Amino acid sequence: MKGIVFNVFEEVVSNALGPWAWDDLLTNADVGGAYTSLGSYPDEEFQALVASAATTLERSPREALRWFGRQAMPILARQYPGFFTEHSSAHSFILNVNGIIHPEVRKLYPGAKCPHFDFRKSEVGSLLLGYRSQRRMCDLAHGFINGAADFYRESVAVDHLTCMHSGDEKCLIEVTWRS
């Protein structure tokens, strides 16, 4: 996992829970804690931090990950405004994840293992995202989608039609825009 994710996580936690919360999380998770945005760190450390945050937030780790994803969006928008200003809607933003955002991420962070989403439109007009990754972080994607909708002032419903956490081969996430 790239250090930038840890750094954004730190900012989200500090914003929500106060300046000392991150140090508590580091202590509770028993991780090193010196993360620079360009470095790479074990996935397990991130998972331990999410679990630790979940305990503090009194939520499940999956819920904590969604929470992080959603709260991370404004921070990412501040740090990488170009990705956001090029789009006028969350729909357009989400569809460009494979084509623009992830390639850009790979430019900044050589060796970043970005997931690939396949997109299609459902018969009822919602957007279907297929996701398959050994990290099984569909909840982070879920949170990012909510965060993107917030950024563009839209309202969406996100449902996991199939999920790797439920033993499915891949996750299928349905995003429905509420008018």
The only residue of 30, 44, 86, 168 in contact with other proteins, by rule CB under 8 A: 86
Q: Which of residues 101-140 bind other proteins (CB under 8 A)?
A: 103, 107-108, 110
Residue 27 binds to other proteins (criterion: CB under 8 A): no
The only residue of 18, 27, 30, 36 in contact with other proteins, by rule CB under 8 A: 36
Q: How far is the CB of 107 from other proteins (least distance, A)?
A: 5
x-marked contacts with other proteins along 4-23 as a string, rule CB under 8 A: ---x-----------x----
Q: How far is the CB of 139 from other proteins (least distance, A)?
A: 26
- Of the candidates 71, 39, 79, 75, which has an alpha carbon nearest to the alpha carbon of residue 53? 71
- The site for other proteins (CB under 8 A) is made up of 7, 19, 36-38, 86-88, 92, 96, 99-100, 103, 107-108, 110
